[in-house]
Structures are given as C-alpha cells and as structure tokens.
C-alpha cells in the first residue's frame, strides 16, 4: 500500500512538473492546466481517504500516508510559489493581491495541518479517532486552500491583455 501511494505521489509530482514545463505560457506565467490542478486535488482526496480508513492498529501506516501527503503538498506549494514569482510582473495588481492572499492562507493551513499531524503522532488508543478527525478537518482546509490558490483568476484579475494566469 505504501509503495503504491509513494509511486502515485511521485508520478503526480513528475506529471505536474512536466506539464508546467510544457504548458503554454503567457508573459512568463504558465497556464496551469485544469487536469494538473485536479490531479493534485485527487491526490489530496485519496490520501485523506486512505488515512481515514486506518484504525489505531494501523497508526504507523496512517502516519506514513500522512507524511507522504504532507511532503507532496509542500512540494506543490513550493512549485506554485516559484511559478508565481517567475510570472509576477505579468499579473495585474488585483491578481497579485488575490494570489498572495491565497498563498498566505494555504501556508497557514499547512502549518495547522502540521500541528494536527503532531497530535496524530501522539494519539493513543483512547483518542485516536478524535485526533484523526481533527487532522481530517485540517486536511480538508488545506485542500480547500489549494483549490483556492490554483483556481483560475477572475476576469477582473486578468492581466492587461485579458489573459488569466495561475
């Protein structure tokens, strides 16, 4: 199971990176294809579905899946930050503000997710389900933050030429 999750996460990162590298660009900012965003979103969904199915007896498996999911999320946040930095000049002021706020929110959600991961590590038989539930809520918030950050910019957020970037 761990091996297949690791393989899926590796494939997802490679596919996303390759797609970004090959995607059309508009003034230096890659137009992230919806399928890539959905791929990360699907990975986030799958990881949580896997974790939620583990009982305290499979705590180590749950923690490994969570760790891999957190690493995958961190890598993708770093990639988006890099892409935003490279295409910053081509974004309108409003788009910059919106993306900056969404990125800040996602980083806060990721920090909270890390805290809940620590609590999950410390969970015992008596509080495993509660810790897992709190972790799941933090996971869902981070997933929503990812979705918000990667959604296409509104028309009013587009650059001067009307293009819409990440």
Domain boundaries, the chain: 2-155
Is 2-155 a domain of CATH 1.10.150?
Answer: no
**Residue 23 and residue 32: Cα distance in Å, rounded?**
7
DSSP 3-state of 117:
helix
DSSP 3-state of 13:
helix
Helices and strands (H, E) in the chain, number of each type: 5, 2
What DSSP element (H or E) covers 102? helix 93-122
Q: What percent of the chain has pLDDT over 90?
A: 47
**What local confidence, expressed as pLDDT, does residue 22 receive?**
40
**Residue 4 and residue 13: Cα distance in Å, rounded?**
14
Report DSSP state, residue 54. Answer: -
The upper half-sphere exposure of residue 102, i.e. CA atoms within 13 Å in the direction of its Cβ, equals 22
CB atoms within 10 A of CB 83: 19
Confidence of residue 143 (pLDDT cuts 50, 70, 90): very high
Q: What is the pTM of this model?
A: 0.69
Give the highest mean pLDDT range of 83-87, 99-103, 104-108, 159-163. Answer: 104-108
Is pLDDT at 6 greater than 70 in this prediction? no
Kindly state the average pLDDT of the residues 68-87. 89
């Amino acid at each position: 199971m761990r091996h297949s999750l690791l393989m899926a996460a590796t494939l997802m990162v490679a596919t996303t990176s390759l797609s970004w590298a090959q995607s059309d660009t508009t003034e230096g900012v890659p137009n992230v294809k919806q399928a890539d965003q959905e791929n990360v979103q699907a990975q986030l969904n799958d990881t949580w579905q896997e974790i939620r199915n583990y009982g305290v007896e499979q705590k180590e498996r749950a923690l490994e899946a969570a760790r891999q999911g957190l690493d995958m999320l961190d890598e993708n946040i770093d990639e988006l930050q890099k892409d935003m930095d490279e295409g910053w000049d081509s974004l309108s002021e409003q788009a910059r503000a919106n993306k900056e706020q969404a990125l800040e929110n996602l980083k806060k959600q990721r920090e909270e997710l890390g805290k809940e991961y620590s609590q999950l590590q410390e969970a015992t038989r008596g509080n495993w389900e509660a810790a897992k539930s709190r972790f799941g809520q933090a996971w869902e918030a981070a997933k929503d933050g990812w979705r918000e950050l990667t959604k296409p910019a509104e028309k009013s957020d587009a650059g001067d030429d009307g293009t819409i970037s990440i």
